[in-house]
Amino acid sequence: MSAAACSAVRPSAHSPRRAHPPRVLQPHRRSQHAQQAQPPQPGAQREPSAAPDSAIACDIFCAVVDNFGDIGVCWRLARQLAAEHGWQVRVLVDDLRAFHALCPAVDTARARQTVQGIVVEHWHEPTHAGETLEVADVVIEAFACELPPVYVAAMARRASTPVWFNLEYLSAEDWVTDFHLRPSPHPRYPLVKTFFFPGLAPGTGGVLKEHDLDAQRAAFEQSQDARAAWWRDTVGVPPPAAGTTVISLFAYENPAVDALLEAWRDSAGPVVLLVPEGRISGALARCFGLPSFAAGTHAERGSLTAHALAFTDQPGYDRLLWASDLNFVRGEDSFVRAQWAARPFVWHIYPQADDAHLPKLDAALTHYAASLPFAARDALTRFWHAWNGAGAPDWHALWTDFAVHLPAFRARANGWAHELARAGDLAGNLARFAKSQLK
Ligand code: TRH
């Protein structure tokens, strides 16, 4: 990482779909904070704890812009920091309904509750700072959501300055390594915000991965009983016969889906499609001539059998990925989970204005597809581009290409999961950096 910082002053903009690197401020050393920090004032407590992980308090602020990725990432990070690092974590989130969808234990009516050992507060941004004004040792502002001014002021008053992160969106682009961990001093307070950039390469913050994820996946893959139980409980049918291609489909509305559904309908072998209820469900309903494609719906046309699934909790979503041969994923967190599932996948990237998402898509392809033979890489690239609206999609040809190249794609999916692990787990990377600052 380059230690140099730009001289321009710009506080972190609330620009959740930002495509470009942020401009950051001159470094402001923590020793300077100590000198400039004012004595603590009433109402700014939850005083610092020295080193042992179990004593580290962490607040994660999450504003849900749309969909599930914002809270999905924050909740996964919160669970890991609590379970694997012993931190006392509080999540302040402004949308409990989105949260409830991927964590049904969350009660949408409660202002404050404890879920899986983590305090969850309904955050009424921008001025509200939790049920009581407490400042943690480590403060994570997810995706530049902007902390309440009263909380920032309390951070500045704290006897020991908190470690403050802006957790950014994931990007595979090269500039991420240069900007990861860059400091951004606050324009008025003796506080420094550190940009924490997830990424796919060493030198970035990495991506989230629970320490037992591979073991859980292996246990699922190796247990016929576990897989049969999953099909029965989640899909409502027995596992499909050998030779069936099982595909999970989690995507935004996508004009290319109709042609793809037709291709699967006409495919030579059976295709089983598993569709979590959501934004693509309308297209399934249209395809099958149904009024809706709500959870529990089963439909068949030609070679294609489709099942609509209820939105599940996050561990349940992993099992869906592990039960499938090919996964269509979207946004950020499911994109990462598909990589850890070590199966071929297709990414529907979050669309941005002016096609700003396309370089991000290509950057991910560069990492993921780099070592594929040319023909397979070309087929995968065209498939991803077509699924993201670039180029003229020929879905039948793409599907045929995909089948031809499947052994290479399978091998690459496995190899990539190992390569990706070299960037380290995001929660571990963040915890290590925070502890180095808290000393
Ligand atoms: O839902 P997403 O499209 O989320 C986003 C948001 O648009 C967000 O604002 C943006 O920051 C981000 O994309 C880039 O896709 P994502 O990121 O994959 O989040 C989905 C989450 O939902 C993820 O944590 C997996 C989880 N999930 C379940 O827990 N159960 C399910 O059944 C499914 C389908 C998903």
Note whether 12 and 113 are same-domain residues: yes
* 314, pLDDT greater than 60: yes
Based on the domain organization, do 417 and 430 belong to the same domain? no
Residues 101 and 241 in one domain: no
Average pLDDT in the chain: 87
pLDDT at 379: 87
Task: List active site positions.
Answer: 70, 332
For strands 112-115 and 88-93, give the pairing. unpaired
Q: Lowest mean pLDDT: which of 3-7, 311-315, 392-396?
A: 3-7
- State whether 411 and 433 are in the same domain: no
Residue 53 has a pLDDT of 56
Give the orientation angle of helix 213-222 with respect to helix 314-323, to 10 degrees: 50
Both 281 and 162 in one domain: the answer is no
Å from CA of 121 to ligand 1 middle: 20
Q: Pick the atom of ligand 1 nearest to 73's CA.
A: 24
**Could you identify the residue written with the tokens 């919160």?**
78
Using a 6 Å cutoff on CB, does residue 357 contact ligand 1? no
What pLDDT is recorded for position 3? Answer: 29
Q: Ligand 1: which of 307, 322, 327, 334 to mutate, judged by most atoms within 8 Å of the beta carbon? A: 334
Render pLDDT for 83-98 as a digit per residue (tens, 0 to 9).
Answer: 999 999 999 999 999 9
Q: Please indicate, yes or no, if residue 292 is contained in any of the structural domains.
A: yes
Give the neighbor-by-neighbor strand order of the sheet with 271-276. Answer: 298-301, 304-309, 271-276, 245-249, 326-330, 345-348
CA–centroid distance, 404 to ligand 1, in Å, is 30
Residue 45 in any domain: the answer is no
Integer angstrom CA distances of residue 341 from 40, 91, 96 = 47, 27, 28
Per the domain annotation, does 367 fall within a domain? yes
The domain in which residue 319 lies consists of 213-423
Only one residue has tokens 């849900």, namely 64
Q: Any idea which residue has 């204005």 for tokens?
A: 353
Q: What is the pLDDT of residues 352-396, one digit of tens each?
A: 888 889 999 999 999 999 899 898 898 889 999 999 998 656 666
Whether residue 415 is contained in a domain is answered as: yes
pTM value is: 0.89
pLDDT band at 402 (very low <50, low <70, confident <90, very high): confident
313 close to ligand 1 (CB < 6 Angstrom): yes
Any ligand 1 atom below 6 A from CB of 134:
no
Any idea what the CATH number is for the domain that residue 390 is in? 3.40.50.2000
Q: Which of 203, 142, 198, 204 is nearest to 170 (CA)?
A: 198
In this structure, the residue with its CA closest to atom 30 of ligand 1 is: 312
Same domain, 200 and 222: no
223 and 323 co-located in one domain:
yes
242 plus 140 within the same structural domain: no
Per-residue model confidence (pLDDT) at position 403? 75
Do 203 and 320 share a structural domain? no
Residue 19 pLDDT exceeds 70? no
What does the pLDDT look like over 64-123, one tens digit per residue?
A: 999 999 999 999 999 999 999 999 999 999 999 999 999 999 999 999 999 999 999 999
